């Protein structure tokens, strides 16, 4: 009996771990409590390792207060308006993997749209409206 319980426990743990991985995905790629403009190269290393190429652009939200935490409670593909978050766009400068380098473009986000899965977990950043840019 004990062996069976251990197997079940391990399976349950594995399941929750994969769900957690998916949940972290959007936040790992796009949400940081703080970040200096010079951090693009370091932050992008992790993201680029997954696909073994230099991602052309990635937006990081500086979200120390956790504004984006319940982002999927608004519904899938519904933009969250009236947010006011600092962002840093990391734009690729050198596209030769693994030596990707990035330029930082700081700005402010006024609205965010994400894609959410059936567990209300965001997995893709669909759209960002930036202040002062149409």
Give the Cα separation of 74 and 98 in Å (integer). Answer: 37
pLDDT tens digit string along 76-127?
Answer: 777 777 788 999 999 999 999 999 999 999 999 998 888 888 888 888 898 9
Tokens linked to 78:
């519904």
Average pLDDT over residues 6-15: 53
Q: What are phi and psi of 49, to 5 degrees?
A: -60, -35
pTM over 0.85: no
pLDDT score, position 46: 87
Query: Would you call 63 exposed, middle or buried from its count of C-beta atoms within 10 A (0-12, 13-18, 19+)?
Result: buried
Give the Cα separation of 90 and 43 in Å (integer). Answer: 9
């Amino acid at each position: 009996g004990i062996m069976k319980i251990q197997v079940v426990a391990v399976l349950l743990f594995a399941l929750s771990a994969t769900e957690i991985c998916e949940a972290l995905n959007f936040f790992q790629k796009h949400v940081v409590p703080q970040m200096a403009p010079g951090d693009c190269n370091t932050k992008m290393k992790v993201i680029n390792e997954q696909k073994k190429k230099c991602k052309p652009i990635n937006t990081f939200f500086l979200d120390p207060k956790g504004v984006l935490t319940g982002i999927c409670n608004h519904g899938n593909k519904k933009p969250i308006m009236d947010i006011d978050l600092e962002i840093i766009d990391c734009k690729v400068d050198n596209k030769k993997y693994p030596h990707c380098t990035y330029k930082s473009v700081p700005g402010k986000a006024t609205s965010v749209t994400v894609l959410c899965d059936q567990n209300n977990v965001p997995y893709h950043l669909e759209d960002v409206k930036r202040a002062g840019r149409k």
